[in-house]
Amino acid sequence: MHKVYKNILIDHDVEYIETKGEVSKSYCLKIVKRIASINPSKVIFLDYKPCSSHFLHFFDLYPKLLKSEIIIHLYGDFTLNSPSWSQCSEALKRHKVKIICASKEQSEFVARMILNGKDVVSWVPFPIDTDFFKVSTEKNEALKKKHKISEEDFLFLYTGRISRQKNVLELIELFNKFKSSFNLKSKLIIAGPFDNIGVSYLGRHYVSESYSYKFNELVSKNDDIIYIGNLSQKELKSYYNLSDCYVSLAAHNDEDFGMAPAEAACCGLPLLLSDWGGFKSFLAMFRLFSGSVPIVENDGRMKPLENISQKRMFEFSAKNIKKEKVNEIERLAHSNLSISKITEDLGQLFKNKPEKFIGFTEDFFALANLIRDRADKPFLSDSYSPFYHKIYKSYLSAREKLNDN
């Protein structure tokens, strides 16, 4: 996104301020004082850490900042940071504000939290470096030899956190059932770091390393599942080009976008994704080259529907869309997600003047209170609470929405 803004603001006098992850009062005051000394017409918050709300708390201390327009890029941690955002509500009301999300679904979620959300919230995908993430003519013979991959093997690839939030164990189990149901040569490649976060919104956590233990137990029993660890960007690109389909059945509460499926599509991979959160924007964008798996609530978990998951795996491996459409997928991805395209889209947004921020909704303050007072399990009822289903309406799978009605 920094490259995008350098393109948009090329004719403007711009000062970039790099911040640390620190959120102490003294540090935030120091940064805001520096911003005020510039006397900016616009203040643009790009990074998610520290959350921009920690700085906005102190804008009222500097009258010259009252004329500044505020542009905020929001990320998936908006819910977790809602108590901090609630504390800067009055400060925001003194400004014209533009809030930019990374997917249609996230923008709908955030817009419902703001009284004039439709006026101040919009969305633009994160940009992908398409000069780097692109189809390669390399044969990847060394990787095939290393992992004992034959020419007949259809390769599913998951990259991302190996976490309960991403339904990785479920993905492995569904792949095993798919393999036992259909006589098709295929392998599942998995890359990424482990976490033990569990279902934090319901207060369900893993003991340290227990998720990785369960993962290793499943993977060690199956030669058709290949775990390759946490990869560099260069290594990721090689595995995107080696594989035939990117797959993720994640149902994370704040799946606002997803860099991995974006990068994979830029390398010509079709996408098999859960019908959930920001993934739905990809399913719409790559409608002809993607498949969706409904997410349903089951035993206090948001899980992929088993029969549809296996059906989609069969369809993708039988058709091998990549073989025929790799360049078409790459062109579509590059035309929607490249730095030049996002520069154009964000530039158009900049032509629209920001609107005055009116305030947050009652639902937002109820959310902030839940996160503040019950941080370990804010949405726990018998399972996910009715309030969770209400505010996350745009994230829910179409089938889960039907169950709510």
pLDDT confidence of residue 220: 87
List the chain domain ranges: 2-127+342-365, 141-337
Cα separation of 112 and 85, whole Å?
A: 15
Considering the entire predicted model, what is its pTM? 0.92
The answer to whether 316 and 295 are in contact (CB under 8 A) is no
Cα separation of 325 and 67, whole Å?
A: 51
Cα separation of 399 and 169, whole Å?
A: 22
Find where tokens 């911040």 sit.
Answer: 19
The answer to whether 211 and 163 are in contact (CB under 8 A) is yes
Same fold, 2-127+342-365 and 141-337: yes
pLDDT confidence of residue 402: 45
Which class would CATH give 2-127+342-365? alpha beta
H-type helices in 39-138, by residue range?
53-56, 82-87, 89-92, 104-111, 117-120
The answer to whether 400 and 296 are in contact (CB under 8 A) is yes
Secondary structure letter of residue 353 according to DSSP:
P
Over its length of 405 residues, how does the chain's per-residue pLDDT go in tens digits? 889 999 999 888 999 998 887 789 999 999 999 999 999 999 999 977 889 999 998 999 999 999 999 999 998 889 989 999 999 999 999 999 999 999 999 999 999 999 999 999 999 999 999 999 999 988 889 999 999 999 999 999 999 999 888 999 999 999 999 999 998 899 999 999 988 776 666 766 665 577 888 899 999 878 999 999 999 999 999 999 999 999 999 988 788 889 999 999 999 999 999 999 999 999 999 999 999 999 998 877 889 999 999 999 999 999 999 999 999 999 999 999 999 999 999 999 988 889 999 999 999 999 999 999 988 788 887 678 899 989 999 988 765 554 544
CATH node for 141-337 = 3.40.50.2000
Q: How far is CA 113 from the centre of its chain?
A: 19
Cα separation of 216 and 262, whole Å?
A: 27
Cα separation of 179 and 202, whole Å?
A: 33
Q: Which two tokens stand for residue 42?
A: 């616009």
Other CB atoms within 10 Å distance of the CB of residue 402: 11
